A and B are shown apart, each in its own frame.
Chain A
Amino acid sequence: EIVMTQSPATLSVSPGERATLSCRASQGVSSNLAWYQQKPGQAPRLLMYDASTRAAGIPARFSGSGSGTEFILTISSLQSEDFAVFYCQQYNNWPLTFGGGTKVEIK
């Protein structure tokens, strides 16, 4: 099973600042990586797939990069609605696995 490790666990950021979230895979997953955002009491929302492709309706301030074992999700200028937990997910191998999440909170 591929283990996905996200860091940091919690990120404190002021509105308008840049946020950089990291996701590492225990073995290479090519570009078969997705990112999701989850707010309290809501279902996750797909942000990115294929490591760097924004899903439909996702603002351009969200960007993804990386391949192999190291991936980054960047939010260029945090808006109030962006504060949430973010998960990465690999879909290169069975079973599909998620990272433990990064909580982005207001500083």
Chain B
Amino acid sequence: QVQLVQSGAEVRKPGASVKVSCKASGYTFTSHYIHWVRLAPGQGLEWMGIINPNTGSTTYAQKFQGRVTMTRDTSTSTVYMELSSLRSEDTAVYYCARDRHPLPTYYFDYWGQGTLVTVSS
């Protein structure tokens, strides 16, 4: 069965960086794009960007341009999301989510369990 398993919770100080991993299994890793979405306390869901695991090409939401980097390792079927220059407003649960179709469709059928990133001095 399709599974996306994310790395564990992280605590960082303001100005630091964090790298979250998302390991895929149960399907052909390179066939579906992966998105990153976050949920901050008291807020709604927020889309951060997308990576094509086959080519490594990425598109980021303008809000995160310059601070986010998404990469992948095809040998381990893992995608990574690194967010730099962290501030308290980046405290959130970060999710990876699989695009439903190889084309892609830009909505998400499988999600990781989420990774809590806390930014605090």
Give me the interface of A with B, judged by CB distance under 8 Å.
32, 34, 36, 43-46, 49, 55-56, 87, 89, 91, 94-101
Contact = CB atoms under 8 A, between A and B. Distances in A.
Interface string B94-108: 010100100001111
Contact of B109 (A55, A89, A95): A55
Contacts of B108: 34, 36, 44, 46
| Contact-residue bracket for chain B | 20 to 34
Q: Which of A87, A95, A98 has the most CB of B within 10 A?
A: A95
A96 B112 contact: no
Interface stretch (B12-20, B42-50, B67-75): B42-50
Given A43-B95, A43-B112, A89-B107, A98 B62 contact: no
B23 to A, nearest CB: 15
A94 B59 contact: yes
Contacts of A32: 106
Given A43-B114, A91-B106, 6 more contacts: A44-B45, A46-B108, A49-B100, A94-B59, A98-B47, A100-B44
A81 to B, nearest CB: 18
Contacts of A89: 45, 47, 107
B38 to A, nearest CB: 11
Interface string B27-66: 0000000010000000111110000000000010111000
